Structure 1
Amino acid sequence: MRLRNVSRSRNVVDRRGRGGRAAGGIGGIGLLVVLAIGYFAGIDVTPLLEQAGPSQQSSEPRELTEAEQQAGDFAARVLSTTEGVWAELFPEQVGRSYTPPQLVLFSEVTQSGCGGASGSSGPFYCPADRRAYLDTAFFGFLADRLGAEGDFAAAYVIAHEVAHHVQNELGILGQVQQLRAGASERESNALQVRVELQADCLSGVWAHHVAELLDSGDVEEALNAAHRIGDDYLQARAGRQPNPHTFTHGTSDQRARWFEIGRAAGRVGDCDTFNADRL
C-alpha cells in the first residue's frame, strides 16, 4: 500500500511506551495469542488468563522500538485514508456528515469505555467511547501466526474496526444490541455474524475508494487475511470441530465474499447483510 504521500491522522492516541507488564500474567505475544483465539474463534479464554495470574501495568515508561514507531506511523496513515473516504461517502451516500473515531494504540492491556482489553478482545471498537483500539504487535501475530502477511492485510484490520464505527454512526450497533438483549445465544451469535460481515463489506467499500494507493497483490493480501480469520478456519486451527452455532464473525468464505461485495462498486447500500438471504 502506497502511503508515503498520505498524511498521518491526528485522531491517534498512543498509549504505548507508558510502561509494560509487571511480574506475573501473560505478556507480549503470549497475551496476543490468547486474546486472538478468543476474539476470532469464539472461545472463552478467561480460564487461560486466570491460570496465568494477574497482569498489571507498570508505571515505568519505555522507549518505543523502531518497529513500534513504524507500526504507529502506518496505523496513523491508514486511519487517515479511512477518514478521507468516509468523510466523502457519508454526504454522498448516507446524506449526513461523518465524525471519525479516535484510534488508541496500546501495548498488552488497556482500558476503554467498554472495560479492559482482556479475555475476548483483540483489535476492537468500543461504541461507548467511539474509539477503536489496537495493539500494534497484533500485526506481527497476524503475519507470523496466522499467515496473513502484507501491509494491506494489516490495513484491512484497521479498516474493519473503523467500519464498526461507521455502523455506530448509522445507528446499526445500537439496534443490534437491543435485538441481542432479548435473543437466545444462538440468535445473538447469528446477529453478530451479520454485524461482522457488514463490517467486512464496509472495509471493501473503503478498499474500492483507495484503489489508487494499492500495490499489486494488496487485494489478495486482504482476501487471504479474511480467510485466515474466518470462524471455521480458526476453530479448526484451535483443534475444535467448527460449530456454526458458535460463530460470531462468519466463515472464511463469507468474510472474503462480503469484502468483495463492498469493493466491487464501493456502495454502502450493497452492505445490507441483515436483509441478505445468503451470507
Structure 2
Amino acid sequence: MRWENQRQSDNVEDRRGGGSRGGGLGGRSLGLGSIVIALLASWIFGINPMTVLGLLDGAGVQAPISAPSGQKPPANDRMAAFVSTVLADTEDVWTAQFRLMGKTYAKPTLVLFSGRTPTACGAGEAAMGPFYCPGDQQVYIDLSFYDTLQKRLGAPGDFAQAYVIAHEVGHHVQHLLGVSDKVDRMRRQVSQVQGNALSVKLELQADCLAGVWAHHAQAARQVLEAGDIEEAMNAASRIGDDALQQQAGGTVRPDSFTHGSSAQRVRWFRKGLEQGQMAGCNTFDNKAL
C-alpha cells in the first residue's frame, strides 16, 4: 500500500502506557476485533469462539468512564504514522461521500492504547482487538493486534491492516447515518437467532463500506500496490464465522453467526471495492448475502 508521505490525521490520540482498570466492554461496540478474544478463549480454555462472541454480544452497556488525557503519537513511530495516514484517507473519502448526500461528516478519533483503556462503552481491552464505540464516536486499537492478525490469524500485509481500520470507520459511518441504533432497537425485539442475523447484516455492511473507502482512495490517490486486494480479501476470509468455528474444531452453525461467513465477508468487501457506491451496501434489503 502506498501510504508514506501522505497526509496524517490530527484526530489520533495516543494513550499507550496509560492503561487503566474499569468495567467490561459492552453493547454492540465490539466490531471486527471481537473475534480475537474469542480465539484466545478457544486456545486457552478450549471454548468455542462463537460461544464467547455470544456472551460478548449480550453484555450490558457500561456507564461512561473518565478517560485519561492522551497525546499525539511520536513523529518517529512508523506504525502510528501508518494508522494516522489510513485514518486521514478515510476522512477524505467519507467527507466527500457525505457531502454528496448533503450531510457533514463528523470525523472519529482513533485512540491508540495498550492493555486497557476507558471508553464510553466501558473498559476496552487489547484482547478484544480493534473496536468502535458509538458512545464517544472513537475507534480504539492496541497496535499489538496487528501481530495477532499476521501470526495467529494468518492475515499479513499493510492493506490487511488498513482494512481493519476501514471496517471500524465503517461502523462510525453506520452510527452517523442511524443504522446502528436502528439495528440495536430491532435486535431487542426479536429472538437470538434473528438478532444474530441482523448483526451479520450490520457487519457485512461495514465490510462493504470498507470496500467503498478503498475504491475511492484508489481512484483519488492510487494507494494500491500489487497484492493489496488479496491481503484484504484474505483478512476478511480469515475472520469469517465459519472459519472460526472450523478452527475451533466445532460444527459450523450458521444460525450462530454474528459477523458472516468467510465468503460473505469477502463478497461484500469486493462489492464495495468494485462499485464504490454506498447504496450498493444495503445488506438489510438484500436476501442473498
Aligned mates of 1:238, 1:135 — CA distance in 2: 24
Confirm whether residue 179 of structure 1 aligns to residue 186 of structure 2.
yes
Pair 1:182–1:120, CA change in 2 (3 A): farther
Are 2:274 and 1:264 equivalent residues in the alignment?
A: yes
Residues 126, 145 of structure 2: 8 Å contact kept:
no
Other structure's SS at 1:75 match: helix
Q: Is the 8 A contact 1:12 1:104 kept in 2?
A: yes
Map of 1:68-217 to 2, 5 A cutoff?
69-92=77-100, 94-118=101-125, 121-211=128-218, 212-217=222-227
Counterpart secondary structure, 1:99 = coil
2:225, 2:117 → 1: CA distance?
A: 34
Q: RMSD in angstroms over aligned alpha carbons?
A: 2.7
Compute the TM-score of the two structures, normalised by the length of structure 2: 0.81
Deviation for aligned residue 1:20: 8.8
Corresponding residue of 2:45 = none
CA contact 1:37–1:43 (8 Å) conserved in 2: no
SS of residue matched to 1:116: strand
- Contact kept, 8 Å, 1:223 with 1:256, in 2: the verdict is yes
Secondary structure of 2:80's counterpart equals helix
Q: 1:275 & 1:198 partners in 2: Cα distance? A: 11
Which residue type is aligned with residue 246 of structure 1?
Answer: S
The alpha-carbon deviation at position 193 of structure 1 amounts to 0.2
- Once residues 20 and 177 of structure 2 are traced to their aligned partners in structure 1, the CA distance between those partners, rounded to angstroms, is 37
Conserved 8 A contact 1:44-1:120: no
Partner of 1:14: 14
Deviation for aligned residue 1:18: 2.6
- How many Å apart are 1:195 and its aligned residue? 0.2
Q: CA deviation at 1:69?
A: 2.6
Using the TM superposition, give the Cα deviation of residue 41 of structure 1 relative to its aligned residue in structure 2, in angstroms: 4.2
Assess, with a 3 A threshold, how the Cα gap between structure 1 residues 115 and 5 changes in structure 2: closer, same or farther: same
* Structure 2 CA distance for aligned equivalents of residues 252 and 38 of structure 1: 19
The whole-number CA distance in structure 2 between the counterparts of 1:149 and 1:175 is 34
Runs of 4+ in 1 over 4 A off after TM superposition: 38-41
Show the 5 A alignment for 1:210-229: 210-211=217-218, 212-229=222-239
Provide the rounded CA distance (Å) in 2 between the counterparts of 1:4 and 1:261: 27
Q: Which residue of 2 aligns with 1:27?
A: none
Give the superposition deviation at 1:5: 2.3
| Deviation, structure 1 residue 140 | 0.8
Secondary structure at the aligned position of 1:146 is classed as coil
SS across alignment from 1:117: strand
| Length-normalised TM-score, structure 1 | 0.83
For 2:181 and 2:150, the matched residues in 1 are separated by: 33
Distance apart, 1:34 and its partner CA: 5.6
1:42 deviates by 3.0
Supply the AA of the counterpart residue of 1:220. Answer: E
Unaligned runs of at least 5 residues, structure 1: 22-31, 48-58
Q: Distance in 2 between matches of 1:120 and 1:78?
A: 22
Unaligned runs of 5+ in 2: 22-33, 42-47, 57-67
After superposition, the Cα gap between the structure-2 partners of 1:120 and 1:184, relative to the gap in structure 1 and judged at 3 Å, is farther
Aligned 8 A contact 2:35 2:49 in 1: no
